[in-house]
Structures are given as C-alpha cells and as structure tokens.
Structure 1
Amino acid sequence: MHRLSTTSRRCLNLSASSSPRFAARRQSARAISALSTSNINSTARSNVGPNSKMAPSNVTAVRRIHATAQHLSPHLASTATDFPRTHDKIEKVEDTPFFIDNQFVTSSTKEFIDLHDPATNNLVTRVPQNTDEELKAAVASAQKAFETWRTTSVLHRQQIMFKFVALIRENWDRLAASITLEQGKTFADAKGDVLRGLQVAEAACAAPELLKGEVLEVAKDMETRTYREPLGVVAAICPFNFPAMIPLWCIPIATVTGNTLILKPSERDPGAAMILAELAKKAGFPDGVINVVHGAHRAVNFILDEPAIKAVSFVGGNKAGEYIFSRGSANGKRVQANLGAKNHAAVLPDCNKNQFINAVVGAAFGAAGQRCMALSTLVMVGETKEWLPEIAERAKALSVNGGFEEGADLGPVISPHSKARIESLIASAEEEGAKILLDGRGFKPEKYPNGNWIAPTIITDVTPTMKCYTEEIFGPVLVCLNVETLDDAIDLINKNEYGNGVAIFTRSGPTAETFRRRIEAGQVGINVPIPVPLPMFSFTGNKKSIAGGGASTFYGRPGVNFYTQTKTVTAFWAGADAISTKADVHMPTHS
C-alpha cells in the first residue's frame, strides 16, 4: 500500500475498500486523521476486448472505466485490452474517486453529480463534489511534491514523459471507450480526441530544448543569461467536449516544466482523466505531482481563490471563461482561457466543389458539433448558394447512432439540457424568418430511443441579427448566410464578436492571401475546414474567443512560457579584479 505524504495525512483519512466480484478487492491501510474516512474505490470493467463485436443486448455491463490494476485482482483488472464497448445498462454503479498522492480515493462528500450515458441516459457513475478538506489536501500534496519535483533534472522528467506517452498509446482504445460512454462521441472520433492530446505529450518530450535559456556577452567581462523556472502549483479546469485532449494540453507541459498540477476534469465526463492519472503513476510521476479533484462551481472558486495555486488553465464557454479569467487574474494568478467560437467558412465559386462539401459536412457535424473549432457557419459567396441542396444530401447520409455502433458518424449531444437548448435555437431561426433546409429534431435511433439525439440540421437564409447566428449553438447545426463578394464575406466575418477559427475554400492563391491578410481570427484554414495547429505551434485565438487578448495560449512554445517564469541573471567577472587593488566607484560611461 502506498502511503500519503505527511502533509496530506493531516487532511485525509484513507483506507482501502472491498466489494463483490467485478469490484475492487479489500486492501488495508491505517487511519491517518479523524477528519474523514475515505475508501480507495476502483471499479471494474466488462470483459470485452478492443476488437470485439457488440455485446449481446441481454448482457448487463459492469463499469470498469476508472479501475486500476494495482487495486484489482489480475484477472479483473482494467487493462489496455479489457474495457466496455457497449451502451448496456450498468448493473452496479460506482462513485468516481478522486486522485491524490498517487492514490484513488473515495470522497467523503455527501454531494454527487449523476453522470449519464448520452446515448441512453442510463446512469454511469456518480461524480463527487470534493469537500474543502479534500481540495486543500490536494493542494498540500502538490505543494509538498513541488519541493523535490522542481529540482528533478529535466532529463529525468523527460524520461517519465516518454513512458507516459507510451502508456497512452498502449491504452488508446481504453481511453476512447471511456469518452464514448461518458461524452457520447463515436469511438473513432474519441480516438482522435486522444490523439490530439497525445501529440502535445509527445511534443513535451522535447523539454530539454524547450527549456533552454539564452546567454549573451553584453560587455567586456559581463554576460546576461536567462533561465526558465517553474511557477509552483498550477491548475487546469477542463471542459466536457474533449475529455482526453484538454487534460493532455495541460498535464505534459505543466509537469515537464517542473510544476505540480491540480486537474479538475469536467464533472460530466471525468473517466478519461482518471485513466490518465493511473497512467501517470505507472509512468513514474512522483506522489503529488498530479492530483485530480472533482466538483462544479465551488471547486472552481476554490482553485481561483487558493493562494498556493499560481496559474490556471481553462477551456470552455464565455460566461464561465470570462468569470475565471477575471477572478483568477484579480487574485494574482496567470490565467490562460480559451472561450467560445462561431467559426465561419467563406466559400468561393472557384473552389473544388466536392472537396468543399465533404470538408464542411465533416467539420460541421463531427462530434455532434460540440467542438470549439466546429465549422458552424457557412458564408456562401455568389452562386455557391445553389450548392446547399447537395450539402444537405451529404449531411443527411451521415449515420447518427450510439458511438460504439459500427459505422456511426456522430453520436448524441452531452445532455438533455443541451439538446433542449439547441432545439430552441433552431426554433428561434424559424420564428425569425430563416429556413430549415435539413431538420434533425425528433430523430431517434431505433436501438437508443432515450438518448440526447439531434441529427444534422442546416438553416439557410440566415441574417447576422438572428439568434442562431449571434449565439454559439454547440450542436450539429450549420447556419448559412449569403453574400455577393469576397469583400462582403470578410466584412461579415470580421464583424462577428468571436475569432477562434475561419476557413476559405478557393483555388485562387491571390484570393486566399487577401483573405488571410484581412481576416480577424486566430486560426485560418485555406481549403482546411478545422485549422487547429499541431503542437509545435500554439492554439491561437482572437477577439472574444480568447481571454486576455490572446497573450497566453495553449501548447507550443507559448505554452511553455505560460508555465514558467523567466529569470535573468547578469554576471560580471572583471579580469582586472585578479590583480587590481583599487575599487571603481563610477557609473560605466562606455560599453
């Protein structure tokens, strides 16, 4: 049994737990304090391999998404090849643990958030709202770990990151299955979620190069050097739509630069983050370097107000993001916050029509439109508006189904509340005079009638004042506006308050360059519908899509800069000092 740090023992009382077959077996641990009595609570998985077909419909699944090998019998342990691949009802629903000092711990809280499979609305797990004592214990654990982690050599941290990357690859399907079950993405799309986070972890393995300082001999016998040093305890507040990718935007760069991390995954789908915590332990991260806590508003406020936390990373909507940026900044923290979006594509008549149609349908409706970089708005230039029926036919052919079903192109939206909100925005478009060219409301797959389903929807004849245009829909809905010229398209896009990403489809180089120079967006795609940069660059934004004017962006070298403090040292070693016996008391008057 691994022991908690002395600091954390003052806050938590941990013991092991037991349950019948398909659950964690009992392990013993001595009481640590009287504040709370918590159990290590690892859960089990159904015996379905990654390449298996769908389980029979009469099979009742047993949850093993958060199970860890060190707490289960070997033949029951959740592994890279043993995880659920169905939406079957879970017979024994377990509470999600939190993660502190490299231990999975059952919260002592009385407040839980029910997490439902979006495809069925069956209960999957209960997510705790960690108590103040548990949140403080996580910070204490991270503070203690920082004392030694900051002095761990960058080469040793790099070796741990190499192992972490290898373990993510080994558990790729397992992570994706967790995402499909809790978030609703198709299994193929969930694997892409993992990949885009994995790429950041791979890039973080270049830490020895990324952390190199600079040196210059600025005068005779004098040189100035810079060092990049870790901040201390940092935190990440993650959204529901990318349960693996966004944690992996933060975990690798925050830790490889020498910081310790408090990770708060979305309370709607924390399973992938819990698996990543297990893999981090296996990779060799010391106790306390990575801690995972759960909760909603109270947990967020704790992170924003806790003096020991020096920086906060956030991805999500504008209301929450602006609040987090303002409150965190007011408390003296660094804050990087990616917010909402209304991503446009300008379509020129000279573009490759078939390539454009395939690109826009995939970018608009993939992940059920629940991407901050979803291509949600089409600006049809000139005669291209005549292509809308063909776009609708291509979208209509997409398969909407449970994410584990073979051939599914998109799954459900995250919750009944999200479904109702999206449907209300579609209805508002009708009320304001737009046309519903393709209506996905009322769709239900035969096998999963109780899920949060909206099929691809296309709204045409939209104007800039309509609610469906001014608000981020965040669902499988494409809104289409008509303009006459490229200048009109650029003006329309630039007037929108968001500036995450934009695309243009054209065969003309000069047209593309004109668009690129004049458009106000953080990411520009030329015949690329979702131009998210790979991690050797950074996730840039503009206008209301990024807090703080875009000064702090995720991953790449700017991500390293966010998680480190620059120290500048100027040293003078006068050669004359070796023999001179008289001090120089005057200010220098020459170089």
Structure 2
Amino acid sequence: MALHDTTGDPALDPTAEGGATVHNCVAGEWRDPSGERHPITDPGTGERVGTVGYSTAADVDDAVAAASEAFADWSQRPVEERIQPLFRYKALLEEHQEDLARTLATEHGKTLSEARGELRRGIENVEVACGMPSLLKEGSGIVEGAAPDIDEAGVRQPLGVFAAITPFNFPGMIPLWFLPHAVATGNAFILKPSERDPITPARLVALAHEAGIPEGVVNLVNGGPESVNAICDHEAIAGVSFVGSTGVARHVYERAAAAGKRVQAQGGAKNHVIVSDSAALDFAAEKTVSSACACAGERCLANDVVLTMDAVYDEFAEAVVAEAEAAEVGYGPDDPDVGALITSEHRDEVAGYVERAIEEGAELLRDGRDVTVPGHEDGIYMGPTVLGGVTPDMEIAREEIFGPVVALSRVESFDEAIETLNASEYGNAASLFTERGREAQQFRREAEAGNLAVNAGTAAPMAFYHFGGQKASFFGDLHAQADDAVRFYTDQTVYIERWPGE
C-alpha cells in the first residue's frame, strides 16, 4: 500500500526512488539531516516506502538554537494565547485522522483500527493541554496574610527547551503525550522520533505549524544514537522525555540527569493478569488475548503473563486458545485482528523466546510462529501464540517479549498471584478479572504497578491521568500526561509580598 500523496507536503517530499524523504524541521524550515540516509520499510509487505536521514550533533545544535530563540518570545505570551493554536491543532488532527491512520498502519504494521485508536488517544492529550489556564492554577493560589502583613503566592513558569525521544510502537500517540503540554506551558520543544517509522511524527509536526504554532517553538530532528546522546548532553536543553526499552531508558535517565536535566524515562514492562476462580472466563480470555496481541504485542501495556487460579486453569486455557485461533493475522491497512511486527530481527527474537520457553518446560498450546499472509509473503508476521505451564523462573515469565505471546501460569491462591506479580522487577501495569470486591480491593492496595485495571484487559489511563510506571518500568519523578506533565514542564516560584505602612 502506498502512503498518502506527498505532493505539497513540506515534511515529505517525493523522491525519484519512490516513497518519501523525511526531513528535519528547524525554525519552521524543512531540511535534510547531515548524516546517512536509511530506508523506511512497510513491515507488512517488506517494501520500501521512504527514506530518513540521521541527524548529527550539529543538527541537534541547530534545533536547540532555534528553540532557544523561539522560547524567549513564546514564554512571554499569555497562556490563553498559547493554547489557541492547540484548538486548531486538535481540529486538524481530527480532519486528517483517517489519512494519518493509514500512513501509520503502513509504516508501522499495526492494524488500521489500532492506528485510529492510537491517534484518538493522542488527540485527547491535545484536548487536555487546551485546558492549561486551569492546569497552571494548581498550587498557584495566593494566601493573604500568610504571615503578619505578608501575602504569598505560587507561580508556575516555563523552563526553556524540552526534548522528547519517542519509540517506534506508537509513533502517533506518544509524541502527543509531550508536544502539547510543553507548548501550552510556554516552553519550546524538540521531537526525536523513532527512525523506524518517522513519517507519522513528521506529519504531526507539519500540522502543528499549520495550526499556527510559531516557527522554532516545535522542531523535529530524526536520527539514531548520536541524536539521542546529543540531546542528553546538550547544556541548553532543560528536560528530556523518553519512552522505550528499559536498558535505553536507564541510559537516557543517567546521562541526561548527569547533565543537570529533568528526565522522565518510561522503560519496558512485564505485565500480569490475575484470573480469579470467580471471573467470567470467556470475557477474561477475550480481553487477555486482546491485551497481549494488540499491536502485535509491541506495547508496554501488553498483559502477557496470566496468573490463573488452579480451579479454573484448564477451562480458561481452552478459552484463551480459542480466542487466539480466531484472531485473523493480516496486512495492517486491511484491518485484520493482528498486524505485522516491526522488523524480521524482532520477529526472530520473539520466536526465540517461545522456543526457549518450550525447552524450559512450557507447553505449546497454540503456535503462531509459522504464519504467511497471502499476497504479502515478504511481510513480517507472527500469530497469537499461547504457552501453558509457565513458571515464574522461566525467561518468558520474567522478560519483556514485545510480541503476540500469552504465557499461562497456575497459582493456588490469590495471595500467591499477588506475590508473583510483585516479584517482577517491572511495575508498569496489571489487570485482575474477578467478581469479588474483596479481591479487587486487595489488588488495588497491594499490586505493585503504576497502572491497574479490574475486569479490563489493558490498564491504559485517560489523558487527564498520568501514565504511572513504577520500578524498572520508569526512571524519574514526574510521569507523562496530566498534572505530572504540568509540573515537569514548569518550575514554581514562591512570591512573597509585603507593603509596610508609613
């Protein structure tokens, strides 16, 4: 499937080779990065759909200089003025949502429905940022008579230039976790998207400019590790947001923090589902398979370890296998149930986890490794795979798989399930299926994860709540979205006033 018509799109000029060349955007000017060019591939077909250049440290310097210059004026504008382009941005994103979704599904491999939902989640963050006048009031009230003849007030102020380094798995949503909040609070912003699917982020930046966000307030640099390290080290960048694997999240956190920056670094995950013997098993199976296999399992909220009470284990396993077998694997833009994985190397890595689990004693209940999609034989596909008899010591129960794999484990009691969940080094999300309020209450109080759900397959918070990873799933103090985002992008000055009498 070809991408949208790039004619006239400043972010995506057509090339003689076909596809689109993705540019950087610095001070409103679309320009080629200085580094090597790399192909962008549609994982559902194996076909090249574009080219992206990698930025050097000098390219990052240019973007920071442009952002710093823009910040001087932008930060002084009234917040009511700063949010007006965001209202227009929301309207433009909704106007182009279908076209953006098709582009996203093509360059990433996920299904069209998943791409639409991802963009909707991103737009919700723009909606929240449009309420910045109210959000900035938090902690900013005045206290008359705080001390004799003294009034005090808290005032939130922007800090300068912020950068976000975003992953391949949600190229439409995750940039919008950061961009609207940074802009609305009065900061300038640099986006460094994944080099694997940079077309959608480039179009998001182009629409931001079309909405009226001034030149230099939002900038785009493409690239790989050199760009990431240059962002972490740059003395004129006040803060860095990162989403990706735990290893890289830890690296970004340590390097950027050592350079004196604020950092919020969302890492990997190993999320658990607990299935009580009171649960509606068919419902739980449907939501479990959907959670583990949506976006082909390439998401940090995938619940892929299922701690099932022994009394219902066999019945639940049958229901999970039935759901997995019913899922259609196909080309993302055609909107099947499960789309492609991002690269063949990643598919091989996921398949390797499955093979090692079998060697460690897990039972292969449903094998999705040998999947071919007719008409797209060169695509990178793997179907839902179900493993039974998984124990906590197995690699597949401990490490993030990032593929469409469900691992079923038996537990004797609810307490054992909670203990197993909490033993994980990660703490991103967990779900519970139960009909008992007591179990739900214990889960809420004791489960060590930042995003919890009861009778819902995926604990994905709305944009007006922060995204709360814990333990090795998050490095930093303030999370993405909502009130945490406002605090991350601003600093608070306490203003003390006294007027002595004559």
| 2:42 aligned residue (92, 117, 130) | 117
Alignment match, 2:340: 412
Q: Deviations over 1:414-455 (max 9, x none)?
A: 001100100110110011111110100110111111111110
| 1:158 aligned residue (73, 83, 91) | 83
Alignment match, 2:462: 534
Whether the aligned pair in 2 keeps the contact of 1:257 and 1:560 (CA below 8 Å) is yes
How far residue 67 of structure 1 moved from its aligned partner, in angstroms, is: 5.3
| 1:473 aligned residue (385, 390, 401) | 401
Alignment-mate amino acid for residue 393 of structure 1: A
Whether the aligned pair in 2 keeps the contact of 1:235 and 1:303 (CA below 8 Å) is yes
| 2:113 aligned residue (184, 188, 192) | 188
Check 1:564–1:114 CA distance in 2 against 1; reply closer, same or farther (3 A cut).
Answer: same
Alignment-mate amino acid for residue 414 of structure 1: I
Whether the aligned pair in 2 keeps the contact of 1:440 and 1:456 (CA below 8 Å) is yes
Alignment match, 1:393: 322
Which has the greater radius of gyration? Answer: 1
How far residue 69 of structure 1 moved from its aligned partner, in angstroms, is: 4.7
Correspondence 1:214 to 2:141: yes
CA distance in 2, matches of 1:423, 1:267: 24
Residue 415 of structure 2: SS of its match in structure 1?
helix
Check 1:281–1:296 CA distance in 2 against 1; reply closer, same or farther (3 A cut).
Answer: same
Q: Deviations over 1:388-422 (max 9, x none)?
A: 0221011111110001115x011011001100100
CA distance in 2, matches of 1:71, 1:138: 16
Alignment match, 1:380: 308
How far residue 376 of structure 1 moved from its aligned partner, in angstroms, is: 1.0
Q: How many residue pairs align between the two structures?
A: 497
Correspondence 1:552 to 2:478: yes
Mind listing any 5+ residue stretches in structure 1 that lack a counterpart? 1-54, 56-60, 79-89, 579-591
Relative to total residues, which structure has the larger strand share, 1 or 2? 2
- Write the mapping of 1:132-143 to structure 2, written as runs, cut at 5 A: 132-143=57-68
Alignment-mate amino acid for residue 267 of structure 1: E
How far residue 221 of structure 1 moved from its aligned partner, in angstroms, is: 2.0
Alignment match, 1:572: 498
Correspondence 1:402 to 2:331: yes
CA distance in 2, matches of 1:369, 1:317: 14
Residue 245 of structure 1: SS of its match in structure 2?
coil
How far residue 532 of structure 1 moved from its aligned partner, in angstroms, is: 1.4
% same residue: 37
Alignment match, 1:249: 177
Correspondence 1:292 to 2:220: yes
Alignment match, 1:103: 29
Residue 40 of structure 2: SS of its match in structure 1?
strand
| 1:432 aligned residue (340, 346, 360) | 360
How far residue 333 of structure 1 moved from its aligned partner, in angstroms, is: 0.3
Q: Deviations over 1:295-341 (max 9, x none)?
A: 11100010001000010000110110000000000000000011111
CA distance in 2, matches of 1:367, 1:66: 26
Alignment-mate amino acid for residue 499 of structure 2: W
Residue 393 of structure 2: SS of its match in structure 1?
coil
TM-score by length of 2: 0.96
Residue 177 of structure 1: SS of its match in structure 2?
helix
Residue 310 of structure 1: SS of its match in structure 2?
strand
CA distance in 1, matches of 2:179, 2:489: 11
Check 1:70–1:105 CA distance in 2 against 1; reply closer, same or farther (3 A cut).
Answer: closer
Alignment match, 2:51: 126
Q: Deviations over 1:4-27 (max 9, x none)?
A: xxxxxxxxxxxxxxxxxxxxxxxx
Q: Deviations over 1:189-213 (max 9, x none)?
A: 0011101111011000001001122
Alignment-mate amino acid for residue 20 of structure 2: E
Residue 250 of structure 2: SS of its match in structure 1?
helix
How far residue 104 of structure 1 moved from its aligned partner, in angstroms, is: 1.9
Whether the aligned pair in 2 keeps the contact of 1:66 and 1:271 (CA below 8 Å) is no
How far residue 71 of structure 1 moved from its aligned partner, in angstroms, is: 8.9
How far residue 94 of structure 1 moved from its aligned partner, in angstroms, is: 3.4
CA distance in 1, matches of 2:37, 2:241: 24
Alignment match, 1:45: none
Q: Deviations over 1:473-494 (max 9, x none)?
A: 0000011111110011011111
Alignment match, 1:486: 414
Alignment match, 1:584: none
Q: Deviations over 1:232-285 (max 9, x none)?
A: 001000000000110000100011000001100000001111111111111100
Whether the aligned pair in 2 keeps the contact of 1:464 and 1:470 (CA below 8 Å) is yes
How far residue 140 of structure 1 moved from its aligned partner, in angstroms, is: 0.8
CA distance in 2, matches of 1:476, 1:67: 37
Alignment-mate amino acid for residue 494 of structure 2: T
How far residue 373 of structure 1 moved from its aligned partner, in angstroms, is: 0.3
Whether the aligned pair in 2 keeps the contact of 1:197 and 1:244 (CA below 8 Å) is yes
CA distance in 2, matches of 1:305, 1:424: 36
Q: Deviations over 1:119-151 (max 9, x none)?
A: 111111121111333221111110110010000
| 2:70 aligned residue (113, 129, 145) | 145
CA distance in 2, matches of 1:276, 1:309: 22
